[in-house]
Amino acid sequence: MSFACPTRDQRLVLDHVVRIAELGADGEIVDAVLEGAAAFAEGELAPLNRIGDTVRARHDGDAVRMPPGFVDAYRAFVAGGWQTVAAPQEAGGQGLPLALGAAVMEDLNAANLAFALCPMLSIGAIEALARFGSDQQKRDYLPRIVSGEWPATMNLTEPQAGSDVGALKTRAEPAGDGSWRITGTKIYITYGEHDLADNIIHLVLARTPDAPAGTRGISLFLVPKLLPDGRRNAIVCASIEHKLGIHASPTCVLNYDGATGWLVGEERGGMRAMFAMMNNARLNVGLQGVGIAERATQRALAFAAERIQGAPATDPAGAAVAIAEHADVRRMLLRMRALTMGARALTYAAFGEIDRAATGDTAAADRAALLTPLAKAWGTDVGCEVASLGVQVHGGMGYVEETGAAQHLRDARIAPIYEGTNGIQAADLVQRKLSLGNGDAFDSLIADIRAEAEDERLVALTDSVEILAATLRNATVEDRLAGSYPFLTMTSVLVAGWLLERLGRAMEAAGEADEFSRGRRSAIDYFLAAVVPEALGLGAAAGAGAELLYRVPASALA
Ligand SMILES: Cc1cc2nc3c(=O)[nH]c(=O)nc-3n(C[C@H](O)[C@H](O)[C@H](O)COP(=O)(O)OP(=O)(O)OC[C@H]3O[C@@H](n4cnc5c(N)ncnc54)[C@H](O)[C@@H]3O)c2cc1C
């Protein structure tokens, strides 16, 4: 089934949600980027999605071979300048808004999630090096990561240090010449080794001598696969993981055996630098949910239009019709489209706030920080739900592999886990973001929604979220965390509903009445009529507190 990038949806969100014209982006450039990215994603990447899933990345000695077609596609990606879109101009980037770069990444994710992870990690590394790198690092490494010539990785996780990054043990010893020797084992390192490029730039968290325990003692190091003199650094890929999905993305165990590295930013300032990388990556993971949801929706729509099964309920003796005519299939398709649109609006909005923050707008910086856990967690939950609905629409053909619907579900499932699990995002929301700027970040978001929301269900959800926020702020830590996940979902649906309502109004005002506009507006109506009230119903769970969760030990649930 062919895939078409959703350029018209993207343009609508960029115009009316992000308001990209305010960010100085010329409309013709926006269109050119959207069309070019779509051509690349549809033409080069989408055809490799299935090959990547079946052939997979292969570990061979300490080398990793990518599936057929991936090396050429990566060359085309670099030649097309796709890594450079939103990268800083002083490092060779095009300096376009991150929100436009988000549309490019959505296309790559939708076409081939496993491929897209490689450029996604480089985007985070560019951010970290641009902000914290030394002049020499900015000269020797940054431009080559920006061009895509040398892709980058992000090395946090160790066997004993997953969500608890502060438990990491990898050591960094000064070598006496300004460099450091890095020793330790990192696991689950995405694109830690591959043959897409000669060099790979690893950004590695490690602990320097006498560093305090926990995150305060962590520093960030740049550790290249190839040293400046061309020799191979002391990094070995011991194995790659066998996974549920994203089979073409090599997930590596990397052994650092006294590898040469250089400090990025200040010693013991690693978490600050890493957060620059991670916040960016978190939004990009939210976009993975959007991309997969779009692809799964398109696949389900195509299948439902062709699969003939059963007479219509209104004419039981009549001829069998396409399943898209049956009410429950129609429900699933509408829900898939509505959730995809909502996740796109929320995630692009967060990128737009980062663009505004770059001009010195501190309120926008706080808004971006607040929206980040929502976009990451809810965006990826949407990816999984929509991909699962996609399987359901296909019936038995969804559960067997040949339609591709199952691959989307398998691929989507990692996104709620990495870049800080969705549970960690919910904790971030209630522990840090609710009180950001003395609570102003959250309160101003609610005020903006109140000023614009018209639909009475959206207004009711606004009331409920605001009351819950007050309750959670005054609650014990245990009660606050117990309510964090349902609260995150409610807040995400509220923001998405607010932005979709605005999108619907803009389409109406423009007098657009073609099939696309009617379809999108009815998906928005569905979001307001069905998804928003569901979120309202989560209020009871969000406010129930820890007593409900801890009444018995987990062993009693066995
Ligand atoms: C395919 C893949 C690619 C990856 N790529 C990278 C990469 O490139 N670089 C990298 O550094 N890492 C990478 N990771 C690692 C990933 O970020 C971690 O798996 C993730 O952070 C979770 O850590 P964990 O697996 O140890 O789970 P755990 O931390 O053990 O979590 C298990 C469960 O407990 C919950 N939990 C744990 N602590 C808390 C808490 N304090 N509060 C509430 N709930 C909690 C979690 O939400 C989760 O549900 C990758 C992982 C995979 C599978």
pLDDT of 224-246, one tens digit each?
999 999 999 999 999 999 999 99
Closest C-alpha to 223, from 129, 158, 149, 147: 129
**C-beta neighbour count of 38 within 10 angstroms:** 21
Mean pLDDT taken over the chain: 97
| CB distance 163 to ligand 1 below 6 Å | yes
Residue 274: per-residue pLDDT:
85
Q: Are 377 and 428 in contact (CB under 8 A)?
A: no
Distance CA 248, CA 58 (A): 9
Distance CA 413, CA 421 (A): 11
Distance CA 226, CA 276 (A): 25
| CB distance 423 to ligand 1 below 6 Å | yes
Closest C-alpha to 279, from 127, 162, 436, 168: 127
| Spacing, Cα 172 to ligand 1 middle (Å) | 23
Has residue 1 got a pLDDT over 80?
Answer: no
At residue 204 the predicted structure's pLDDT band, cuts being 50, 70 and 90, is very high
Q: HSE on the CB side for 138, CA within 13 Å? A: 17
Q: Please identify which residue in the block is written with the tokens 């606050």.
A: 480
Containing 261, the helix (H) or strand (E) segment is: strand 251-264
Whole-prediction pTM: 0.98
DSSP state of 358: T
| CA-420 nearest atom, ligand 1 | 21
Model confidence pLDDT, tens digit, residues 477-533: 999 999 999 999 999 999 999 999 999 999 999 998 899 999 999 999 999 999 999
Q: Are 382 and 293 in contact (CB under 8 A)?
A: yes
Mutate to test the pocket of ligand 1, among 164, 188, 256, 488 (most ligand atoms within 8 A of CB): 188
Give me the sign of the Cα torsion angle 404, 531, 423, 418.
positive
| CB distance 544 to ligand 1 below 6 Å | no
Mean pLDDT of all residues in 12-20: 98
| Spacing, Cα 399 to ligand 1 middle (Å) | 27
Residue identifier of the C-alpha nearest atom 20 of ligand 1: 418
Residue 2: per-residue pLDDT:
85
Residue 280: per-residue pLDDT:
85
Residue % of the chain over a pLDDT of 90: 97
| Spacing, Cα 160 to ligand 1 middle (Å) | 11
- Integer angstrom CA distances of residue 340 from 93, 110, 233, 293, 347: 30, 12, 43, 6, 11
Has residue 275 got a pLDDT over 90?
Answer: no
| CB distance 243 to ligand 1 below 6 Å | yes
Q: Are 353 and 468 in contact (CB under 8 A)?
A: no
Distance CA 282, CA 373 (A): 8
Residue identifier of the C-alpha nearest atom 4 of ligand 1: 188
Closest C-alpha to 336, from 279, 287, 297: 297
| CB distance 414 to ligand 1 below 6 Å | yes
| CB distance 549 to ligand 1 below 6 Å | no
Is 267 a residue of the active site?
no
Do the strands 201-207 and 218-224 form a parallel or antiparallel pair, or are they unpaired? antiparallel
Q: Please identify which residue in the block is written with the tokens 């097309």.
A: 80
| CB distance 233 to ligand 1 below 6 Å | no
Q: Are 200 and 74 in contact (CB under 8 A)?
A: no
Report phi then psi at 186, rounded to 5.
-110, 140
| Spacing, Cα 423 to ligand 1 middle (Å) | 10
Vertex 188 angle, CA 130 and 554, to 5°: 115
Number of H helices, E strands in the chain: 22, 9
DSSP state of 314: T
**C-beta neighbour count of 110 within 10 angstroms:** 31
Q: State the virtual CA torsion across 214, 217, 220, 226 in degrees, nearest 10.
A: -100
Residue 279: per-residue pLDDT:
83
Residue from 419, 466, 501, 515 carrying the catalytic annotation: 419
| CA-186 nearest atom, ligand 1 | 11
Residue identifier of the C-alpha nearest atom 11 of ligand 1: 156
End-to-end CA distance of the chain: 44
